[in-house]
Chains A and B, each alone.
Chain A
């Protein structure tokens, strides 16, 4: 019925320009300039309300070259300038060693380094672990490769952040990602992760706290922001197979969003409000005897996986453990592993 010329809608905030976007969060119809302002202000408010940073902080931005981290780097450097946060910002990228995928996206990060004027540090799996993902996939095939990648990436980011002497590590996880992770953790019965995946700051007891300034930012708005601002980002799926289970959860969230956009915020809220009963045993944290990284096991998950690779037993440390011995190990290893990692299909950061 409605032809686009039949009704030119004006921005409901300024009433001066043509509306360009329907905000999923508020259903407001707003123009580009009001959108930029609302988008940036909400993130600023979140940073202030949650005391994410202190003046003088060295902040590493996990940068994959994808839309989320590219917009995050752009917005954070803008807010830092406009509101005088007094932060030293860095781009931190992980080179997993995936030919035809990561090498291309790293080029985007190198361009971002110049465009945003932020120093860049790249850490590679090859340097840290002696293996590239290409080599690992050659050995183990396309099953479980995402486990290796996810575990290695989490540690690689921490090591890169430590190299940069960073006080905080920020990642571009958006509201859709977090809603999806809440749902997945419920589907897996993973209480340890469920309780943490919706926190804006995690790992405060670990070496470097991580925070998610886009926690309440819709993916749609991030992509619209990047599109309107013509930001340079990379958008190709990892060549080593998407994670089917996560894919279903993602699709479900997107279907819900189409019917009721608030569903995303409500799922996050559910995640935040879950309380863990006192008789649920939570893993205790220590350090890995081998590499010193945080671990609730004798060895951290990365060391177990690496040991398997180096001994030619790559299945070591993979998959669900058996009941009995199993439960404990499973919980603990997962407690250490990235609780919010977007394993392949949609990349971590």
Chain B
């Protein structure tokens, strides 16, 4: 029974987490990073993401101007390094603020005494 339940929760959890990967990328890429290194960093920090989601996402964020990229050919294999741009930083700031507001709102829903109207 518990099994069936947690499976039906999965799509909702995925939906809720989708946007957090963008925020995590923008924060982590304040120091330059390449695809696979970022995948591992995300994993170790609890933002487990599929490679086939992350790699296209990085290019999309670059296209939108929130990341900039540069090829590094000095290492053993050439890698594309991404860095958060100024626009990316302010997007991250806005998303973080929204996250704080949302978690406050959710806390008020969870807490019975949170909403004065309900008394």
Whether chain B is bound by chain A comes out as no
